[in-house]
Amino acid sequence: MTVKAAGPLVALLRDIAARRDDPLGVEPALRAGAAPGLLAATDPRLPGALTAKAATRWDAPPHIAAALAWKGYAYWTALPVALGWALNRRVPLFPADATLVRVLDEAPYLVVGLREVSVAVTAADPCAGGPGTVVVPDEAALLALVRDVLLRGHYVPFVRALRTATRAGERGLWGTAAEALASPVAHAVPGAADAVRALLDGLGAPVAGLVELTADPPSVRRRTCCQWVKLSGNTACSTCCLNRDQ
């Protein structure tokens, strides 16, 4: 059972799962439980395990495999955060030491969840002070907390580990994180351009300024490349900066 503040988000995640052709890469109830085969996000083996799977799956050299592994990891860990913020400013926190990952051989290639769910809310939220909530004064403080927990505390060490092991490009990895945060908002929220801008600008460096929005239909365009196009036979992703350049 998750906390009351996450109820609408859990309902949305279950709806998304029901409508997808492929499995969801995040536990619909957010909690990962204690199933066997889970790795903590802080486990030093995790970046290497994900990169090795990607290298085998797509016959990719290490730096491209790392970029593609990160693309899936960032997307699924960012999805609940971005949707929670866009839905009602109730944001599930994904600290590295509470995030659990199951690495899979088939799509979606990994599933993420939390040991325990903590939801950040503003002081004006009716759920503030309830079980599992972390209360901050206002929306600026809400995004500051997400920046500290998700970007600095969780993503920075992961990106550093990928770069150290494979020399994957840092700006490209952060472009992937920016897209992972922006895409769910772009596809789910009216007035998406303003919402995406508020989210990424509020989070600031290193994700601000790495995506742009096309207006009709709302769609994210990266200012970096995820490296997928560099594998033999592949074309650029729909969100790739190469499409803009062409």
Return the pLDDT at 193. 81
The model's pLDDT over 113-150, given as tens digits with 9 standing for 90+, comes to 999 999 999 999 999 999 999 999 999 999 999 999 99
Residues 206-231, mean pLDDT to the nearest whole number: 82
The model's pLDDT over 193-218, given as tens digits with 9 standing for 90+, comes to 888 889 999 999 999 999 988 766 66
The model's pLDDT over 28-85, given as tens digits with 9 standing for 90+, comes to 999 997 677 899 999 999 999 999 999 999 999 999 999 999 999 999 999 999 999 9
With 0-12 / 13-18 / 19 or more C-beta atoms within 10 angstroms meaning exposed / middle / buried, residue 165 is: middle
Report the predicted TM-score, pTM, of the whole model to 2 decimal places: 0.93
Identify the weakest region by mean pLDDT among 40-54, 138-152, 168-182, 225-239: 225-239
* Mean pLDDT over each residue of the chain, to the nearest integer: 91
Residue 246 confidence (pLDDT) above 50: no
pLDDT band at 170 (very low <50, low <70, confident <90, very high): very high
Residue 1 confidence (pLDDT) above 60: no
CATH of the domain at 225: 1.10.510
Residues 155-173, mean pLDDT to the nearest whole number: 96
Q: What Å distances lie between residue 199 and 82, 104, 165, 168, CA to CA?
A: 8, 30, 30, 26
Return the pLDDT at 212. 87
Return the pLDDT at 215. 65
pLDDT band at 162 (very low <50, low <70, confident <90, very high): very high
CB-CB contact of 94 with 108 (8 Å):
no
Return the pLDDT at 244. 57
Q: Which domain holds residue 22?
A: 4-245
- Name the one residue in this structure whose structure tokens are 């609408």: 8
Query: Could you give the number of structural domains in the chain?
Result: 1
Residues 13-29, mean pLDDT to the nearest whole number: 91
pLDDT band at 225 (very low <50, low <70, confident <90, very high): confident
Residue 157 confidence (pLDDT) above 80: yes
Half-sphere exposure in the Cβ direction for 34 (13 Å, CA): 0
pLDDT band at 11 (very low <50, low <70, confident <90, very high): very high
Count of CB atoms situated within 10 Å of the CB of 1: 9
